[in-house]
Amino acid sequence: MRVLGIESTCDETAAAVVEADNAGRGKILSNAVLSQIAEHAAYGGVVPEIAARAHIDALDPLIRRALDEAGCTLADIDAVAAAAGPGLIGGVMIGLTMGKAIALAANKPFVAVNHLEGHALTPRLTDGVEFPYLLLLVSGGHSQLISVEGVGEYRRLGSTVDDALGEAFDKAAKLLGLPYPGGPQVEKAAALGDPDRFEFPRPMAGRRNPDFSFSGLKTAVRLEAERIAPLTDKDVCDLCASFQAAAVDVIVDRCRAALRLLAEKPPTALVAAGGVAANGAIRRGLARLCLESGLQLALPPVGLCSDNGAMIAWAGLERLRLGFVDGMDFAARPRWPLDSRQDPRWHGKA
C-alpha cells in the first residue's frame, strides 16, 4: 500500500510517498521538504500571506520530485493524503485543494489528515511502537501530553495554559537578539553557557495534572536580561543555558505526572514529536526519565520532528487501512484539536 502525502500547514512545503508491507511495517520512499526560513527571517516569524504564496510556487514541483524519488507514478499510488489543519488557513487550503485535485484526477481515495495526528503516529512509522503510548507533542504552536490509544483514539491529558514551548524558545531568542528561527539558536548558545548561573522558575512543577505553562519562564528571562544589561556574549549563552535547563526540567516533570495518571494501564512507550522534540537537551532529559521508569523511549529522527510529508502520508495510510476516507467536501480546519471527543468523524468507528 502506497500513499502520497502533502503538508502545507505552516512554513514548510512538503510531499512524500510512504508504503507499508503486508505486515504493516512502514517505509519512506521519498520525503521532499522545502523550508521557508529565508522568506520569513527578516520578519522574525512566519508571515501567513508570504507562506501561502510560497506553497503555491513550490507544491507542484515538490510533488513531482517526491513521485520521481519514490520511483512511481500516480498510477502506483493507492491514495492521496493532505493535511487539512490545524494551521495557517491559507496554506492549509492550498495543500488540501491540491490533494483533492490529484485524488479526483487520478481516481484515488482521498484522506484528510489532522496535522497533529501526523506527528502522533510518526513513531509507529519509525519505531513500530504499539498502542497505547504516551505522546509528548511540543512545537511552536502546541505543548500537549496525549494518550495515543489507537488510530483516531486520542485522549489529551494536559496542554499549555499559555505559551507553547516552541513559542517560548522563539521569544526568548528574540529578546536576547538571536536570529530566526530562535529554537535552534537558543540550543546552540546554551551549549556554550552555564545552566546554573540563573535560577529560573519551573512553572507547574509538582502539580498532579500534567499541564504546562511557559509564559512565566519567558518573562523571567526577560527580567534577568534587563537587570544585567548590556549583555555580553557570555551572558546570552548563560541565559540560554539556564532557560533551556528550566524548560527540560518542566518537560520531564510534566511527563512524569502524565505517567502517574496512566499507572493503571501503563503505556508501551514514551514518544516525543514536533519541532521542539529535535532539541538535544530535551531528548536527553526524556532518556533519563525512561531509564528510571523502565519505559521504552521512541524519538523520531530529527528530520522527521519538524513538519514533513512523510508523517501526513503515514497517517493517511494508517487511516486508509481501517477504511477511513474523506469526501471532496472536506473543509480546511485552521483549528482542529487532536482529541477524539472533538472529532465527529471517529464516533462509533474506531
Cα 95 from Cα 97, distance rounded (Å): 6
Report whether 141 belongs to an annotated binding site: yes
Report whether 138 belongs to an annotated binding site: yes
Cα 118 from Cα 133, distance rounded (Å): 15
Sign of CA dihedral 48, 54, 56, 62: negative
Report whether 139 belongs to an annotated binding site: yes
Helix axes 182-190, 233-261, angle to 10 degrees: 110
Report whether 119 belongs to an annotated binding site: yes
β pairing state of 143-150 and 153-159: antiparallel
Report whether 170 belongs to an annotated binding site: yes
Report whether 152 belongs to an annotated binding site: no
Tell me which residue of 155, 25, 23, 10 sits closest to 85, measured CA to CA: 10
Report whether 194 belongs to an annotated binding site: no
214 in Cβ contact with 143 (< 8 Å): yes
Report whether 307 belongs to an annotated binding site: yes
Report whether 140 belongs to an annotated binding site: yes
Report whether 347 belongs to an annotated binding site: no
β pairing state of 26-35 and 12-20: antiparallel
Q: Cell 536527553 identifies what position?
A: 284
Residue numbering of the annotated binding site: 115, 119, 137-141, 170, 183, 187, 279, 307
Which residue positions form the known binding site for substrate? 137-141, 170, 183, 187, 279
Q: Which residues are annotated as a binding site for Fe cation?
A: 115, 119, 307
